[in-house]
């Protein structure tokens, strides 16, 4: 009797422990289990690596195939991870579709991530096969690190850095990475104040016609001056795109541009067409057109006087109907330019179906122009297509006269780059227009 009672109590205790530590869906350990087991392993005196892995668009999978299939998938992913790691390593399901892996001993990160990727990116449930994408964040632990939460955080940061990026499935947390994160949070702490303090200023880079050699357009480019330091747009724009502050900044720049155009119109008979950069986050906001039209009207500007630059990357989006948004923008009368063309993996089909007016050929293609040799440059092919589709072309980042000559020969319409002018302050732009006798 007594023995039976003890056995029952033991079973009950085990079941409770199971509830506290086992994930019922995959049979793997859960978050609590991961924390405890990892903590133990951190005491071992050898190399240790942590990987945080998740499935891209798992929610969509769940919606499409239902929760039962979703759960079955998680179980299969757990199994495949187990096939890749050693018996002494750990894998647990930390939350939804997030798995925590902990490897003890020497690890070839490239090899392990590659094997995980190939096992999971094509996976079967029964005899049906699915294609998935996964993202992984890797952190190689420091010898003396004992704080489990902090190593998980580092792996998560590395994971966040690759989330949503095509062609990279894993990121490794490094010292440099840490510096970058610190800098990122510095910038995030300064951004709201920066708008209030008018630290952002709009510069204009002239675009010169290859036919008339006059300025026909100008691109608005934002500059950030904090005290006496300049922070480069290439540094802060990607951060603002991630935290959505770009919506505020784009709108701010756009308003300054409208204000400046109004002033130019009072002073000059003919003015260049101003183009403004619009990030994807701004464009897909449901209030985008409403807000931008309102600002335009405030300064008495017609949409025909403005060109909106959308990067080629923005047009590649499976979740949102960019074509529909651009059609609406176009209907209002704005012209649309595709920025950084040649870098964004869009299909040529895009050029035909999107309502675009202008193509901006990315600097990397200009840099690669090979004038000396008798071979076909990629630009010649772009020029052939754009002429067929009746698009205006702008070459970006043109630095030499030879490049200008080449672009003129191939009938590229406008040239923008240091060969003519760096981006100018608004007051300098006005002087430039005067000198140009426009
Ligand atoms: P982008 O739109 O491709 O702008 C062209 C960049 O090339 C600018 O850098 C410009 O200063 C630089 N550039 C122009 N000519 C030359 C040249 O001959 N040689 C070289 N090496 N560079 C040249 P910037 O101003 O640093 O801007 C970087 C990026 O930041 C821009 O690339 C654009 O994507 C983004 N950006 C700038 N202002 C805004 C804005 O108001 N809103 C949004 N969403 N993005 C902006
Ligand atoms: Ca641009
Ligand atoms: Ca560009």
What does each of the 438 residues of the chain score in pLDDT, given as a tens digit?
578 888 888 888 787 777 789 999 999 999 999 999 999 999 988 999 999 999 999 999 999 999 999 999 999 999 999 999 999 999 999 999 999 999 999 999 999 999 999 999 999 999 999 999 999 999 999 888 999 999 999 999 999 888 777 788 999 998 888 898 899 999 999 999 999 999 999 999 999 999 999 999 999 999 999 999 999 999 999 999 999 999 999 999 999 999 999 999 999 999 999 999 999 999 999 999 999 999 999 999 999 999 999 999 999 887 789 999 999 999 999 999 999 998 888 888 899 999 999 999 999 999 998 877 677 788 999 999 999 999 999 999 999 999 999 999 999 999 999 999 999 999 999 999 998 544
Query: Which ligand is the nearest neighbour of the Cα of 278?
Result: 1
Ligand 1 atom with the smallest distance to the CA of 360 is: 3
pLDDT at 438: 43
Distance in Å, CA 345 to ligand 3 centroid: 15
pLDDT at 378: 86
Query: Which ligand is the nearest neighbour of the Cα of 201?
Result: 1
Which amino acid residue places its CA nearest to atom 11 of ligand 1? Answer: 423
Ligand 1 atom with the smallest distance to the CA of 311 is: 34
Do the bridges between strand 306-311 and strand 273-277 make them parallel or antiparallel, or are there none, so unpaired?
parallel
Residues around ion ligand 3, judged by CB within 5 A, are 339-340, 396
Distance in Å, CA 242 to ligand 2 centroid: 18
- CA distances to 181, 268, 306, 307, 354 from 263, in Å: 41, 9, 14, 18, 32
pLDDT at 406: 95
Ligand 1 pocket test target in 195, 202, 221, 342 with most atoms within 8 Å of CB: 221
Q: Cα(246)–Cα(199) distance, rounded to whole angstroms?
A: 15
Distance in Å, CA 414 to ligand 1 centroid: 16
Which amino acid residue places its CA nearest to atom 32 of ligand 1? Answer: 234
Which amino acid residue places its CA nearest to atom 43 of ligand 1? Answer: 277
Which amino acid residue places its CA nearest to atom 26 of ligand 1? Answer: 233
Which amino acid residue places its CA nearest to atom 41 of ligand 1? Answer: 222
In the structure, which protein residues have their CB atom closer than 6 angstroms to any atom of ligand 1?
205, 221-222, 232-234, 237, 246, 250, 253, 277, 279, 339-340, 396-399, 417-418, 423
Distance in Å, CA 241 to ligand 2 centroid: 15
């Amino acid at each position: 009797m007594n023995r039976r009672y003890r056995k029952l109590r033991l079973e009950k205790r085990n079941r409770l422990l199971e509830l506290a530590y086992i994930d019922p869906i995959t049979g793997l350990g859960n978050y609590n289990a991961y924390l405890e087991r990892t903590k133990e392993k951190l005491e071992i005196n050898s190399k240790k690596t942590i990987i945080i892995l998740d499935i891209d668009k798992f929610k969509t999978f769940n919606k499409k195939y239902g929760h039962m299939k979703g759960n079955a998938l998680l179980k299969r992913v757990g199994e495949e991870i187990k096939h890749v790691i050693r018996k002494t390593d750990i894998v647990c399901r930390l939350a939804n579709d997030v798995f925590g892996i902990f490897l003890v001993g020497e690890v070839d990160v490239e090899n392990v991530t590659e094997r995980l990727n190939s096992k999971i990116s094509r996976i079967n449930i029964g005899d049906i096969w699915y294609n998935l994408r996964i993202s992984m964040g890797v952190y190689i632990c420091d010898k003396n690190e004992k704080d489990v939460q902090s190593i998980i955080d580092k792996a998560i940061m590395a994971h966040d850095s690759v989330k949503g990026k095509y062609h990279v499935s894993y990121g490794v947390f490094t010292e440099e990475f840490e510096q970058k994160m610190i800098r990122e949070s510095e910038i995030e702490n300064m951004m709201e104040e920066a708008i209030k303090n008018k630290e952002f200023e709009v510069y204009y880079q002239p675009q010169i016609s290859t036919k008339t050699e006059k300025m026909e357009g100008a691109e608005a480019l934002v500059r950030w001056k904090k005290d006496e330091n300049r922070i480069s747009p290439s540094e802060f724009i990607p951060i603002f795109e991630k935290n959505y502050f770009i919506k505020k900044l784009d709108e701010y720049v756009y308003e300054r541009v409208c204000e400046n155009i109004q002033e130019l119109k009072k002073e000059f008979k003919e003015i260049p067409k101003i183009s403004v950069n619009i990030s994807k986050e701004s464009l897909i906001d449901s209030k985008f057109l409403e807000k931008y039209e309102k600002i335009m009207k405030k300064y008495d500007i017609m949409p025909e006087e403005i060109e909106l630059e959308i990067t080629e990357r923005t047009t590649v989006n499976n979740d949102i109907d960019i074509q529909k948004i651009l059609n609406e923008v176009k209907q209002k009368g704005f012209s649309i330019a595709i920025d950084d063309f040649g870098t964004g993996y869009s299909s040529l089909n895009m050029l035909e179906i999107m309502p675009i007016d202008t193509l901006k050929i990315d600097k990397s293609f200009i840099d690669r122009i090979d004038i000396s040799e008798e071979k076909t440059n990629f630009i010649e092919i772009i020029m052939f297509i754009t002429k067929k589709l009746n698009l205006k072309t702008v070459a970006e980042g043109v630095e030499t006269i030879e490049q200008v000559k080449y672009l003129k020969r191939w009938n590229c319409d406008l040239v923008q780059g240091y060969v003519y002018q760096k981006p100018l302050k608004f007051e300098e732009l006005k002087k430039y227009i005067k000198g140009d006798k426009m």
